[in-house]
Amino acid sequence: MQYSHLGRTGIVVSRLCLGTMSFGCYTSEEDSLAILNEALEQGINFIDTANSYGWLGWIPDRGRIGLTEEIIGRWLSEDKTRRDRIVLATKVYAVMSAEINDRGLSAYHIRKACEDSLRRLQTDHIDLYYMHHIDRGEVQEQYKEWWGVPERDLVRPAHRRRETPWEEIWQAMEVLVEQGKVIYVGSSNFAGWNIAQSCEKASARNFLGPVCEQSVYSLSNRMVELEVIPACREYGLGLVPYSPLGGGCLAGLLEKAGSGQGRRSGVFGEDYIEAHRDRLEAYESLCRDLGETPAAAALAWLLDNPVVTAPIIGTRTIEQLRSSLRAVEIDLGEETRARLDEIWPGPGGQAPETYAW
């Protein structure tokens, strides 16, 4: 395994981050514990989760909210030495119950969510505490159905601000850091200007502020190259990409579809494959010429970016985990990277140069 500093910090993490979103809903607890053991054995010390992971609200009886943190907590309790061997990241923002204040980035919710995560994780501190989303203050419509509560109990009060002020957010985070419950703070799903604003507000308070940004990024989704990556570079944030395989389309989709293993619904149904067949064929053919799996090549492409700290590998099986490890050893080379740019073109560079003179 290879390692890198997390953004501008002194802490060192593995170049691959183990994602746990499937634990408890798609992956059984037994298999989840086995994956955690294998990841640690292979040198992965960066573990990513969230307080809301563990359930699928649109599928009845598929896990429950907070279950993923509980599984990790039980894994940590089995061997107390594991805690000091990992960098543990979790998140705050999501709606956690029908209670009107059990969501968002208010100081009230940040404090409560942190205490709840510490209890589920069976630890006394969180190494990296992500703001799971910029606080927009709205209540998402699907929660009315998922939680089964009347609309009147979920409607935002008329006097509520559109978002929580940064002064309140940073004060709450500062308290957690002072108490030793949180070491570093990160952002997730932030726009470039959100990153700039959060960093400037933190700097004005002599607070370290966000040290990394977790954002969707892959060969097939390169929008963050416009402004998020330049903002991360400017402010010294490490980029931790999630969905690095484009939800599966970069993991050998055509081959799996041909063998009956591919996804049969959603964006990866037959319509998607036919619409993108030329691109998928070119990509998978290039990977065969390289002698690498499509998944490993996609991860290696991300690792070539100096702003990227560690892609999140959301494995559901030990086999998927082991196959991902190859990515850190791959040197794609300039010619291959140019060919990948042709197959999966990005926005053309950073803003505003990509669209203005």
Residue of 26, 53, 93, 184 marked active site = 53
What b/e string do you get for 140-165 counting C-beta neighbours within 10 Å, with b at 16 or more?
Answer: eeebbebbeeeeeebeeeeeeeeebe
Rounded CA separation 57/63 (Å): 9
Instruction: Say whether 283 is catalytic.
Output: no
List, in order, residues 6 or more apart from 152 with CB less than 8 Å away: none
Tokens 């703070």, residue located: 185
Q: Rounded CA gap, 150 and 349, in Å?
A: 46
Contact 55, 64 (CB under 8 A): yes
What is the Cα–Cα distance from 309 to 303, expressed in whole angstroms? 8
Taking the CA atoms of the chain, what radius of gyration do you get in angstroms?
Answer: 20
Distance CA 18, CA 63 (A): 20
Length of the chain: 357
Give SS3 for 293: coil
For the annotated catalytic residues, the residue numbers are 53
